[in-house]
Chain A
Amino acid sequence: MAFDYDKYIRPGKLPHIWCPGCGHGIVMKGLIRAIDSLKLDTKNTAIVSGIGCASRLPGYMDCCTLHTAHGRAAAFATGVKMAKPGMNVILVGGDGDGTAIGGNHFIHACRRNIDMTYIILNNKIYGMTGGQFSPATPTGAKASTTPYGNPDPAFDIAKLAIGAGATFVARGTAYHAAQIDKLIAEAIQHKGFSVVEILDDCPTTFGRRNKFKSVIEMMNHLKEIAVPVKAAEKMSAEQLQGKVLTGVLYKEDRPEYTSEYAKVIERAQAGK
């Protein structure tokens, strides 16, 4: 049988607002399949987002959802998790929302290792507000605010998360659709702060300014640059030039924030 996505979508919400060929819908399907495979109770699952194209995702999901201020998804989600530590908390946002405007919240959520999953849909640009460059825009790429090419180097979001202390970091692409649900499911199961970066396409504001003739070209580009971690071990540094690693990039076990905080409460109540 075909997979029943409708079960997890608020009735009457489709078609969604994303542009033709935007990969956000592919990632949303991956998230739905992950929630379904883990049999998460939608009444006990909170999906939190900030502002942006990617942040529209929770609005379609028939779960507990929170659409918050720009970049502040991690802050609101931390509040949700602290109030209800038993809840599954999933954050969804774009590269601009997560690493520029919400950059501070993002790194500190990583550092705290609070048990949440952050799905970053990296389309390398601010799509909704008109194609301004984001911290993930590659050097030389054109955006509405860098018409002569972006002079800044881009963030490697996965490395940023590892450096800031996230205990599970994975990366996938919108082209490799079948892998997305597996990465997200593994991230949700991980006890601690997990980050899943999905490389995405934005044909409307990134593609047409950067010589991608079509959505298909953008998808093929994602296919070409992605190298699975295991395959990369056998490749030389020259062969890996311009490529990005996909799969589970980092995993460690470290005390989780809500359980550590519960211990603080215990100590305070005992007066020690």
Chain B
Amino acid sequence: MEKTLPKIEIIEKYCKGCHICVEFCPTKVLEMQGFVAAVKNLEACIKCMQCELRCPDFAIKVITE
């Protein structure tokens, strides 16, 4: 079965650059690009939703089907 990838939406206006999502992503999907978080390697995403759960700033949405 082909792996379906989610869409990770980052609202840059809300992100305060705290690094929580980047550090606690188990598969290192995210990285910091300057001040805000950004998607580096979407292929590795296992849809665990930890980034969405832990983002204190309501800046990340992991949209799955």
Contact = CB atoms under 8 A, between A and B. Distances in A.
Interface of A: 1-3, 5, 9, 14-16, 18-26, 29, 174-175, 177-178, 214-216, 219
A16 B53 CA distance: 17
Size range of the chain B interface in the assembly: 20 to 34
Given A15-B14, A21-B20, A215-B18, A29 B58 contact: yes
Contacts of B63: 1-2
Interface of B: 9, 13-14, 16-20, 23-24, 50, 52-58, 61-65
A177 B53 contact: yes
Contacts of A1: 63-65
A96 B14 CA distance: 28
A26 B64 contact: no
A250 B56 CA distance: 28
A18 B52 CA distance: 17
Contact of A215 (B9, B19, B50, B65): B19
A23 B13 CA distance: 19
Contact of A2 (B50, B54, B56, B64): B64
Contacts of A178: 53
Contacts of B50: 177
Q: Determine which residue in B19, B24, B58, B61 has the highest number of CB atoms from chain A within 10 A of its CB, and name it.
A: B58
Q: Determine which residue in B17, B20, B57 has the highest number of CB atoms from chain A within 10 A of its CB, and name it.
A: B20
B57 A216 contact: no
A20 B18 contact: yes
Contacts of B61: 2
Contact of A219 (B24, B52, B55, B57): B24
Contacts of B57: 14-16, 18, 20, 25
Closest 6 CB pairs of A and B: A25-B56, A21-B18, A20-B16, A2-B61, A20-B18, A177-B53
B20 A219 contact: yes
Nearest to A203: B18
B58 A22 contact: no
A23 B20 CA distance: 10
Contacts of A16: 57-58
Given A15-B16, A29-B56, A219-B23, 11 more contacts: A2-B52, A2-B63, A15-B57, A15-B58, A16-B57, A19-B16, A20-B57, A21-B18, A24-B56, A29-B58, A177-B50
A20 B53 CA distance: 16
B58 A177 contact: no
5 contacts: A2-B62, A20-B18, A24-B56, A29-B53, A219-B20
Nearest to A217: B23
B14 A14 contact: yes
B23 A3 contact: no
